[in-house]
Amino acid sequence: MAMTKDDRQPFVAHLERLRDADDRAALAALRRGLGKPPGSALEMHRYVVPWLAEQERPWADAVHYLVASLFALHPQPGGSGSMGTALARVAASTGAESTERRFVGLLNCHGDDLPRHLRQAVSLAKAHDVPIDWHRLFGDLMGWNHHSRYVQRQWARDYWSLSRPVQEAEGEAHDEARAPEGARRVGRAGR
């Protein structure tokens, strides 16, 4: 799905400008927020505060700090889709069940635990060269605490719909390996 101009987040565009200008000092300052409560790394304020609403909004402010620190960890351009899509791509390249366990942990986590779970997810994506759609992530995190959990449900749909072809292929290979020798030849000829 192509991103429209309305989907672009001005704050994320600001982060992308820092990356594109190769402002290593800014990205280093933003990375100092990793593993800390959002907003507690004073070095980040210079780059984040100008983008916050005048009236404090705790969750929105926390999302700004969280996305800034995670972006600085893995600023690779070119991401598309939700975090569920990104982690499905990681799982497809590794085949590791641990990716799915971490993803389920992310879906189930409370907002207070989100920084830790997202840092793990972004680190996995970085390790496997899977870019993140930072505009989408920013928008999704703004809705993380919605009572309907629509963000978590969409991420789950994205993750398991992308991993389904891999699971089906593995299932077919497993079924074929268990079939008697003659049945394997017939099965291949019938395809």
Contacts of 94 (CB under 8 A, 6+ apart): 128
pLDDT digits (tens, 9 = 90+) for 141-164: 999 999 999 999 999 999 999 866
**What pLDDT is stored for residue 186 in this prediction?**
44
Query: What does the domain layout of the chain look like in residue ranges?
Result: 8-163
pLDDT higher at 100 or 179: 100
**What pLDDT is stored for residue 5 in this prediction?**
45
**What pLDDT is stored for residue 71 in this prediction?**
99
Q: What is the arithmetic mean of pLDDT over 116-125?
A: 97
- Cα–Cα distance between 65 and 126 in angstroms, integer? 19
Residue 54: is it exposed, middle or buried by C-beta count within 10 angstroms (0-12/13-18/19+)?
exposed
pLDDT digits (tens, 9 = 90+) for 59-118: 999 999 999 999 999 999 999 999 999 999 999 988 778 999 999 999 999 999 999 999
Q: What is the value of pTM for the model shown? A: 0.82
According to CATH, the topology of domain 8-163 is Peroxidase; domain 1 (1.10.520)
Q: How far is CA 40 from CA 7, 55, 86, 156, in A?
A: 28, 18, 28, 31
| Residue whose C-alpha is closest to residue 49's, from 133, 38, 143 | 38
**What pLDDT is stored for residue 172 in this prediction?**
52
